[in-house]
Amino acid sequence: MKKLVLSTIAALGALATALPAAAQELTFWSWRQEDKAQYEKFIDAFEAKNPGITVKFEAFEATNYNTILSTALAGGSGPDVMFARAYGGLETVASGGYLLPLDKDNVPALANFAPAALAAESMRSDKTTYAVPFASQTMLVIYNKDVFEKNGISEPQTWDELVQASEKLKAAGVMPFANGTATAWQNEVVVGGIASTIMGRAFYDDLMSGKADFTDKRYVEALTKLKEISKYFPDGFIGLDYASAQQLFSSGMAGMFVGGSYELSNLKKQNPDIKLGIFATPGLKAEDEKLVAQYFDGGYAVNAKTANKEAALKFVNFLASQEFGQMFADGLNNISAVPGVTFKNELLGEVAELNKHSIPYIMLVHFRYGEPSGSVLLQSEIQKLLSDKATPEEVGKNLTTGLANWYAPFKK
């Protein structure tokens, strides 16, 4: 009998060793509903290499995502892994203790990420990183190559050449720019895409060091030029929303569109035949450094209270890998934040080159950490500027005064 019991125990032990570990299902939340099919392909690749772990991707409407996520986390639940906003949006969640700190010990690949990318997903107070950066976005000018070629226009190298190109398109019955300002956040986009070169890198450096504020003549001049070029926006552009502006450009009715690098894929979906080009808005002189505005667009974070910590970290390490970064760039036609990624898409390669001459997308990167938000202020003030209800000088003063409510360097 004793031998039988021992042999039975040994057999059960062998069987237990042979059986796979209990399956773990991770929930993965996102605001990118439009990317659901592609993320499911990414997840398939992860699951194939990690049997026993499954990932359920759930996407929510973008404008409600922050509220849904914060409510779930505050209630002690929420997803195992989640899309997290960057900059001020990250701090809102991370400061509540809802996210697992990430470092080179639990996610070794983070050691290779660019410092600016990591800063976007870190608390300013203690530099703790809480998410793996997933993409960067760049504000620039997108143009229709066929429209430019038909009208004998080359990429402008000076501000005067940009004005001349706009005049030429207008004379030919083509809208020079498709942009409108009825969708508030688009007002911030046109500042980043048009005014960055004019305000210049030296202004940005002085702003960050506390030597300048938004009343600085360099910033005021940049807004003056933005106001000048807005006469080439569509008639009634003050009431033109984002979706309509996209359609004007993708249909070929307009030659240029000021937007983010995220537009490239969207515009091709709207019109697969359109031939796109991009450029950084030029300065007053040809030798001026042409600048684009860049920011990092969120990251992948782990719930601090997840019951599946080991599996969640395995998944996040996959999301931090060059293998995933390459799939992300190829599958979503977007600029992955993962170091070492190459771009099969020619336009993405051009964006990566333009990013070598960039300044941060100022309000999003630096001034969304208090109330009133710099982005909210800027969007409102640019609407006033472009509808002749404020001067560039007044806009600069109002931005500085508004931010002085919480931004110490502006307090006098």
In order of their start, the domains of the chain are 19-134+297-320 (3.40.190.10), 137-295+355-410 (3.40.190.10)
Contact 412, 387 (CB under 8 A): no
pLDDT value of residue 255: 98
pLDDT value of residue 22: 62
pLDDT value of residue 21: 52
C-alpha span between 40 and 31 (Å, rounded): 14
For residues 211-248, one letter each, b for 16 or more C-beta atoms within 10 angstroms of the residue's C-beta and e for the rest, the string is: ebbbbbeebbbbbbbbbebbebbbeebeebebeebbeb
pLDDT value of residue 13: 45
pLDDT value of residue 20: 46
pLDDT value of residue 345: 92
What is the amino acid identity at position 394? E
Which residue, 265, 269, 249, 268, is CA-closest to 257? 249
The 8-class DSSP code of residue 367 comes to: S
The 8-class DSSP code of residue 282 comes to: P
> Beta partners for 302?
81
All residue ranges of the chain with pLDDT < 70 are 1-22
Which residue, 344, 338, 341, is CA-closest to 300? 338
Residues in CB range of 52: below 8 A, 6 or more apart: 20, 21, 22, 23, 24
Rg, C-alpha atoms of the chain: 25
pLDDT value of residue 412: 73
Q: Rounded to two decimals, what is the model's pTM?
A: 0.90
